[in-house]
Amino acid sequence: MRQRYETIPRYVPHAVKGHALNQNESQYELPERIQDKIRSIDLTGLSRYPVDELIRLKQRYAEYAGVDVKQLMVGSGSDELLAILCQALLDVEDLVVAPLPDFSMYGIYTQIARGQFVQPDEDGLSFDSLIRTIEANEPKLVLVSNPNNPTGKMWTHDELETLASRVPYLVVDEAYIDFTMMDAFTLKLETYSNVIILRTLSKAFGLANLRIGFMIADETLIANIDRFRSPFNVSGLSAAVAAVVLEDSAYIRDAVAFHNEQREKLVRLLRPVGTILPSRANFLYVQTLDSEMWAERFLQHGVHVRAFSDGIRVSAGTDEAYRLIQQTIEEVSSLENS
């Protein structure tokens, strides 16, 4: 094994019973009309490598995203694409900067690629703090999720353009952008050839099980990063199912509307827990010093939420999950007032 490999965190998945509101998965069921089309997929080509399926998937997603097919790379989730681009862009000891907090895998993939990962010391989600960190470290790569995971914060286009003008490469991780497509940064790619956008079908599209992600960037940059991708890195069956879903434009519209409605219900529900941060994604961040207590109490009722040091992140869920959340909050309130 390589030196200091033990410092790289290992992710071990665990089965979740009850209501999983800790992973920001979609709670919107695939309509029967789409399920019927998926059942009719031709399986006679399973002995062949997935060429046609991936071509079709890229065409469908390019149409959805409003980009050229040559600007796209497909990966096994946006996680794999993040790992690929870190391997492609980073030399040993290259510096990478991200806000604090942000997606935990940024630091892990930087470490795997033998880079150095830096985040602001304080006010980690303020633009000024991020700029100061960039100026002090002169990173090769900056990674930002927009909307931010876990808080839901939105970076403005002006802020992202400033970042793009200050660093060799900027990655804008738009895992949750389908919930607020008006904020998509794809239109700026013509101006900034050093910007890379990551997308996924795991969130709004509700296809986390398929592991489908996309990288969108300048055609030349995509061609260069593509050298680091494994051949046929995405299952043809996953690609075929994803293409069927992408062809039903009404589905994503209805799924987004459902999650937006459920998120607003959650806002009203969680007010007694703490301060709710603004969000346009399918989750809320609630600031509270009792985050571990709330996570444990919700878990006792079969509702999983994600606890952080200063708050909890809760995915938009079903009305049944909300009934259990309401019950938990009422029980805690009753104990506090007794």
In percent, how much of the chain has pLDDT > 70?
99
User: In whole angstroms, what is the distance from residue 274 CA to residue 305 CA?
Assistant: 14
| pLDDT tens-digit series, residues 229-257 | 999 999 999 999 999 999 999 999 999 99
The secondary structure element, H or E, covering residue 315 is strand 311-315
What pLDDT shows up at residue 98?
98
Q: Which of 282, 130, 92 is nearest to 205 (CA)?
A: 282
Q: What is the pLDDT of residues 53-92, one digit of tens each?
A: 999 999 999 999 999 999 999 999 999 999 999 999 999 9
What is the distance between the alpha carbons of residues 266 and 83, in angstroms, rounded to a whole number? 34
pLDDT digits (tens, 9 = 90+) for 26-45: 999 999 999 999 999 999 99
pTM equals 0.96
Distance of alpha carbon 122 from alpha carbon 132, whole angstroms: 11
Residue pair 198/225 in contact by the 8 Å Cβ criterion: no
Model pLDDT, residue 337: 67
pLDDT of residue 338: 59
Residue pLDDT, tens place only, 277-312: 999 999 999 999 999 999 999 999 999 999 999 999
Helix (H) or strand (E) holding 102: none
- For residues 152 and 306, what is the distance between their CA atoms, to the nearest angstrom? 14
Q: Sorting pLDDT into bands at 50, 70 and 90, what band is 14? A: confident
User: Burial, 146: exposed, middle or buried (Cβ in 10 Å; 0-12, 13-18, 19+)?
Assistant: buried
DSSP label at residue 212:
-
